[in-house]
């Protein structure tokens, strides 16, 4: 078995963990961005995440349907719609973050300092290689 198999397994485990938070990975990331960039427009989210408008619109629609965000009209420009987290969205995000932090703390607790450093360096390198900027 090659590294592809290991990466597939890792992705599966990450998806299983994300389901435990009641907030799937993609929605978690978008809600986190909305909270940290509050207020933010749909086009800004697309630019940050490097995804197309229909994809982001669908994710924001799902968050809005779950009452985790709202779309608010700009006071300055009637064509502009801001996306902001609701109180429920902030609470769900905090709960999901806590669950993720506890999970990873437990899983990584048995690694030595050197193993932890090696893992972080390898993950940084992998993320850099997968980054859309690498494709340019």
Q: Domain holding 11: CATH number?
A: 1.10.10.10
- The 10s digit of each residue's pLDDT in 10-40 is 888 887 877 777 788 889 999 999 999 999 9
Question: For the whole model, what pTM was predicted?
Answer: 0.76
Q: pLDDT-based confidence at 132, cuts 50/70/90?
A: low
Q: Give 3-state DSSP helix, strand, coil % of the chain, rounded to 5.
A: 70, 10, 20
Element (H, E) at 59: helix 53-65
Is 37 within 8 Å of 29 (Cβ atoms)? Answer: no
- Asked if pLDDT for residue 64 goes beyond 90, the answer is yes
Is 60 within 8 Å of 45 (Cβ atoms)? Answer: yes
Determine phi and psi for 72, rounding to 5 degrees: -120, 140
Domain that holds residue 123: 3-135
Number of compact structural domains in the chain: 1
What distance in Å separates the CA atoms of residue 70 and residue 67, rounded to the nearest whole number? 7
């Amino acid at each position: 078995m090659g590294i592809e198999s290991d990466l597939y397994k890792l992705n599966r485990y990450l998806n299983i963990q994300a389901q435990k938070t009641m907030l799937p990975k993609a929605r978690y990331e978008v809600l986190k961005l909305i909270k940290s960039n509050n207020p933010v427009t749909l086009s800004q989210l697309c630019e940050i995440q490097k995804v197309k408008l229909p994809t982001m619109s669908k994710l924001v629609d799902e968050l809005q349907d779950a009452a985790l965000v709202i779309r608010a009209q700009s006071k300055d420009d009637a064509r502009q719609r801001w996306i902001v987290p609701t109180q429920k969205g902030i609470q769900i995000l905090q709960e999901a973050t806590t669950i993720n932090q506890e999970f990873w703390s437990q899983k990584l607790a048995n690694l030595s300092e050197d193993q932890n450093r090696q893992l972080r360096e390898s993950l940084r390198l992998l993320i850099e290689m997968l980054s859309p900027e690498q494709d340019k």
